[in-house]
Structure formats: structure tokens, C-alpha cells
Amino acid sequence: MIALASASPRRRELLTQLQQDFVLVKGEIDESLLEGETADQYVLRLAEQKAQAGYQSQQLPLPTLGADTIVQVDEVVLGKPVDLADFKRMMGLLSGRSHWVKTAVAIATAQGMISTTVATKVWFKPLSEQEILWYWNTGEPADKAGGYGIQGLAGQFVQRIDGSYFAVVGLPLYETAQLLQTLKDMQ
């Protein structure tokens, strides 16, 4: 049994696919990008802080899994869109080119932290203004890093990926299973 420090329904569903028993805990943290922080440092820090916050929130703490996903185009980290203008800016950066989706997974235990980061390259087709507005109006982009969910309606914009599909959704299954095995080996 572990604890999952995540409000993401996608992460809950994916963790269930690993046949891992878990309880939900709060892992709320400040998700601000620090000055000088690289995308890789940022996503790993967030996953580790979520895991640690979730671990510390329990009276009798279970090993706690935290994860975070970011979208990076060039050196720009794209978070969740704050409004239509921000979303249009993001889609303009993603349209007709490749970008990186990076998901970090961390497990906090009494013995310390184990973690990994998975990077997947994603290529978007060129997007028209009409497609961008249509997608925004579906409501789907609002709570997603980079303003899209590959498992949803935006899947039709994705020409190809190189890497883990599940990392783009929000929890890389293979790498998470490896971390869970490492956790078992530690106990």
C-alpha cells in the first residue's frame, strides 16, 4: 500500500493499471518556477516536493508517490493556461513543430526519496485559428500542462511521439513500475 499525492484523475487511473493499492493524500505545494531553474530541475523538484508534502501530511506515513508533468518548447516551460490569450500563445508555440513533455515521478519514504524523470518528444500538426478556438471551447485545455491532453480531443493534433505515451498523459507506467519495485526491494 502506498499514498498518492495527486489530484489528477489521470494519475489515479494509470496507477490503478499497475494494480497498486493506494490511498489519496494532499500534496499541495507552490508550483512556481524558480529563477535559473531548468525544465528538468523544475519538474523533478515539483514531483519530489509533492511526494514529501504528501508523506508528511500522514500520521502513520505510507511511502508516498508524487508526480508532475510539464511541457517544454525551446527553453520555455508551458504550465496550465490562465486564459484564452495564454492558451493561444501556447498553441502558437506548439503548432507545426516538436516539443518535449517531461514527467517526473518521486516516492518519499522514511529512508529517503527515489525518483526518475521521463522525457517524450511530441510533434503537433500545424493548427489553424479555428482549431485552436474550437479546442479551447471544449473546456479540456484548462487544467492541463501545455494546454492539451494527448488522451483527449487534442490527440488529433499529434502527428507522432518519440518516447512514453503514458508519460505524456501524466504517469509513465514502465518507469513508475520500476520505482515501485525498487521500493519493494528496500523494504
Counting every residue written for the chain, the total comes to 187
Q: What is the distance between the alpha carbons of residues 57 and 157, in angstroms, rounded to a whole number?
A: 39
78, 144 contact by CB (below 8 A): no
9, 66 contact by CB (below 8 A): no
* C-alpha distances out from residue 156 to 6, 13, 121, 126, 133, Å: 27, 22, 16, 11, 15
- Residues designated catalytic: 68
* C-alpha distances out from residue 107 to 26, 51, 81, 89, 150, Å: 14, 6, 28, 34, 25
